Amino acid sequence: MNLEQLLDNIKTSQQFMQNVTHWKVIPQKPGEYEDFPSYLSDKLVSVLNKKGIYRLYSHQRQALDRVAAGDSVVVVTPTASGKTLCYNLPVLNELIANRNARAIYLFPTKALSQDQVSELLEFVDGMGEDIKTFTYDGDTPTSARAAIRKDGHIVVTNPDMLHTGILPHHTKWIKLFSNLKFIVIDELHTYRGVFGSHTANVLRRLLRICRFYGSKPIFICSSATIANPKELAEKLTGQSMVLINRNGAPSGEKNIIFYNPPVVNRQLGIRRSSILEAKNLALIFLKNRIQTITFARSRLAVEVLLTYIRKEMKKMPYGAETVRGYRGGYLPKERREIEKGLRQGEILGVVSTNALELGIDIGNLDVSIITGYPGSISSTWQQAGRAGRRMAPSASILVASSSPLDQFIIKHPDYFFESSPENGLINPDNLYILVSHIKCAAFELPFEDGETFGEKRVDEILAFLESQKILRHVGGRWHWMAESFPADDISLRSASPENFVVVDMTEGAKVIGEVDRSSAPMMIHEEAIYIHEGQQYQVEKLDYEEKKAYVRKVDVDYYTDANLSVEIKVLEEFKGESEEHFTKHMGEVMVNSIATMFKKIKFFTHENVGSGPIHLPPEEMHTTAFWISIPENIEDLSKEEIQSGLLGLSNVMANIAPLYLMCDPRDIRGVVQVKSPFTMKPTIYIYDNYPGGVGFSEKLYDISSMLLKAARQVILECSCEDGCPSCVGPHEEVGSGSKDFALKIINKCLG
């Protein structure tokens, strides 16, 4: 059956349709076209014609015209709408006319950089022009780096490499910085939170160096749909932007289906696992040879889902190898091979984290299955947009998990379809981040007295750095005097720049993957089952100092999941006040987290079949938090009942806060103390899950009453009898009666 026949068949299935909460059909849309502008090089037009492109989409033409007029632009159109031409055409057109011009392309990941270079080289080869295009990242051979610095017309890189490998060595890049005409920033919407705040400061440093060498580049940004693209682009680059957001690309009919797994235990409110449901749905399409991408929320979920699907696909004539996994931690060569297989149609299905949400060219698939709400409206549309060939029908199925956020979205489809996507929030002036980059900027070029960095004067920070013997003030300038190289100590994405490598010892020693430091205690502790492309490996030894995990192939019927214990300590209260019957606070905290134990979970049934301790050192993080303290005497609740109610309420608040913060659920975390050493009362903490914090705590402080009312609504709307994963949390975690106790706490707080 083809996709249309299969969708018609599914509509007649009562077993499927009884779990569908909403089925929206977005009709196909014709394209809006415009002719090539007269100033576009004949060579470029010729290459476009050879690719079957005889006219531009209206948004592509508008971008070309605005850039030609000297404006910086931000283009916001859906996935697969030809945004790449919005920056490639103006850059190549300029380079044909002016061979001294230079451009920097910034992509958030190495995979995207590789992908774009191959497309650029196709253009350059097709024109027969000598425009040198290079990727410059951690994988670039040392032997090639000098040639790129000297001759590269287009340098394709990522913010991390710009930060550590290019800006600190700007004297070797004089030709690039003296002639820099364009800075291209693709996937703008990914530059949010800490990563976006760091990148904004990297761009401040870049523009400071450009001014030093006498260039004034134009920015060309492109983004998936977010609520504030112009504001985010301007905050990120410090430049005024022209917004181009009317999509001229055609699109086929899209079916967006909201699917809520059936309840298997009504008393406990437990639903069938979203992973098992996603597996069944994916197999419906894969067995009909319909190319399908299945998204999962975590690396572990990807590997478990891949294991399940492959086991079933072994029974099919085309076999299990036609379905692959894709996530961070796979080696670059492996990822390129999977991307190529998808483009060429050799791979029928892929199970991925949000790593494939970005615009890596994997062709256009027919179906996307999203396992668990991705955490934002923007991400959901991105993942849904991975399905849909030019004018052919496509389907995207959102399979809800039991979490309160998932259940809210799946039961309130109007909220999803009628709300604007999230705002991209950054705080480049966060003191923790700002000071780090002022150090880097001072290393690159001395600061002048009265100089601004962004919009603010930074004299106080410079004086502080002088008192730390990092800078020296001489003749109206601040000079670097420390011995260290500051950029090396600052990771743009996490608290630590270091990754752990995974070494397979089954036959010799072979590196098969890598794990970021924050995930290492949970994923590669000793005795963990590490799954890579559906193959299980047992971790025999974790060398924490050398950052290596030694693993061996095994064949077992379980996977492992680790528990994280979190302690929180208030360092300083920034503000606090009483509200009705509770007090709210906001300030700086130290979070101490340690992986304590792991569970062995049986495949398919998800039963707990064993456990073991984890012996690893704790991780510390300074961040900001919002906390509320409640009275100790609530309707005669015992200390144990208050703890149960607090745990339930903390779960609900931390789960629904992202709706108000417009952030990813993983950006915040909740902790409970039955008697806080700081407030001496029962207290719920919700902290920013990033070093230094990024402003989420402050917003929660401002909307504390609204958040409590929203938590009450979620608990009251849940049909379970005594608490469940869709409201206060699983019974075994929060205890019996948690739902009732949480409601009593909320009612007391709100008077």
pLDDT band with cut points at 50, 70 and 90 for residue 595:
very high
Classify burial at 287, counting beta carbons within 10 Å of its beta carbon; exposed 0-12, middle 13-18, buried 19 or more. middle
- The CATH number assigned to the domain holding 137 equals 3.40.50.300
Q: Are residues 199 and 344 in the same domain?
A: no
Residue 544 located in a structural domain: no
Domain that holds residue 402: 3-26+252-418
Same domain for 267 and 337, yes or no, is yes
Give the tens place of pLDDT for each residue, 518-565: 788 999 999 999 999 889 999 999 998 899 999 999 999 999 999 989
Report the number of secondary-structure helices (H) and strands (E) in the chain.
25, 34
pLDDT for residue 243: 97
Same structural domain, 48 and 185? yes
Question: Tens of pLDDT along 357-415?
Answer: 776 767 778 999 999 998 888 889 889 988 886 678 999 999 999 888 898 889 889 88
Residue 73 domain flag: yes
Do residue 225 and residue 300 come from a single domain? Answer: no
The reply to whether 411 and 441 lie within a common domain is: no
> Mean pLDDT of all residues in the chain?
90
Residue 601's pLDDT band, with cuts at 50, 70 and 90, is very high
**Are the beta carbons of 271 and 238 closer than 8 angstroms?**
no
- Tell me: pLDDT of 130 over 70: yes
Output 317-320 pairs: Cβ under 8 A, ≥24 positions apart: 318/289, 318/348, 320/534
Q: In this model, does residue 268 exceed pLDDT 70?
A: no
Checking if the pLDDT of 44 tops 80, the result is yes
Q: Is residue 164 part of a domain?
A: yes
- Kindly state whether residues 69 and 99 are assigned to the same domain: yes
Which pLDDT tens digit goes with each residue over 618-660? 988 889 999 999 987 777 788 899 999 999 999 999 988 988 8
**What count of Cα atoms within 13 Å lies in the side-chain half-sphere of residue 257?**
25
Sequence letter at residue 361: D
Average pLDDT over residues 23-51: 95
Residue pLDDT, tens place only, 580-592: 789 999 999 999 9
Within-domain flag for 517: no
- More confident site: 239 or 496: 239
Q: Would you call 232 helix, strand, or coil by DSSP?
A: helix
- What was the pLDDT predicted at 611? 94
Cβ contact 56:33 at 8 Å: yes
Distance CA 433, CA 280 (A): 45
Q: What is the 3-state secondary structure (H, E, C) of 413-451?
A: HHHHHHCCCCCCCCCCCCHHHHHHHHHHHHHHCCEECCC
Q: Are residues 158 and 16 in the same domain?
A: no
Q: Supply the pLDDT for residue 395.
A: 96
Distance between CA atoms of 272 and 269, rounded to whole angstroms? Answer: 10
**Is the Cα torsion angle 651, 656, 660, 662 positive or negative in sign?**
positive
pLDDT of 711 strictly over 90: yes
> Does 219 share its domain with 265?
no
Q: What percent of the chain has pLDDT over 90?
A: 63
Assess whether 388 and 440 both reside in one domain.
no
My answer on whether 672 and 691 are in the same domain is yes
Q: What is the mean pLDDT of residues 558-577?
A: 93
pLDDT at 496 over 60: no
Of the chain, the percentage scoring pLDDT greater than 70 comes to 98
| pLDDT tops 90 at residue 16 | yes
One-letter identity of residue 649: L
Q: Which bin fits 33, alpha (ψ -120 to 50), beta or left (φ > 0)?
A: beta
pLDDT band at 159 (very low <50, low <70, confident <90, very high): very high
Q: Is there a domain that residue 311 lies in?
A: yes
For 8, 173, 175, 501, 550, the CA distances from 210, given in Å and listed in that order, are 58, 11, 11, 37, 46
Report pLDDT for 495. Answer: 46
Distance between CA atoms of residues 371 and 348, nearest Å: 18
Give the pLDDT of residue 498.
67
Distances (CA, A) of 618 to 528, 594, 690: 18, 4, 16
225 with 257, same domain?
Answer: no
DSSP state of 272: P
Same domain, 368 and 270: yes
Q: Which of 374, 394, 418 is the last residue of a domain?
A: 418
Which of 460, 481, 502 delimits the end of a domain? 481
pLDDT of residue 432: 76
Q: Is 425 within the bounds of a domain?
A: no
Residue 508, domain member (yes or no): no
Q: Is residue 545 one of the residues assigned to a domain?
A: no
| Structural contact between residues 422 and 226, judged by C-beta atoms closer than 8 angstroms | yes
Number of structural domains (the chain) is 4
6-29 average pLDDT score: 95
- Distance separating alpha carbons of residues 357 and 352, to the nearest angstrom: 9
User: What pLDDT, on the 0 to 100 scale, is given for residue 359?
Assistant: 65
List, as one string, the DSSP characters of 190-222: G--HHHHHHHHHHHHHHHHHHHHHT--PEEEEE
DSSP 594: E
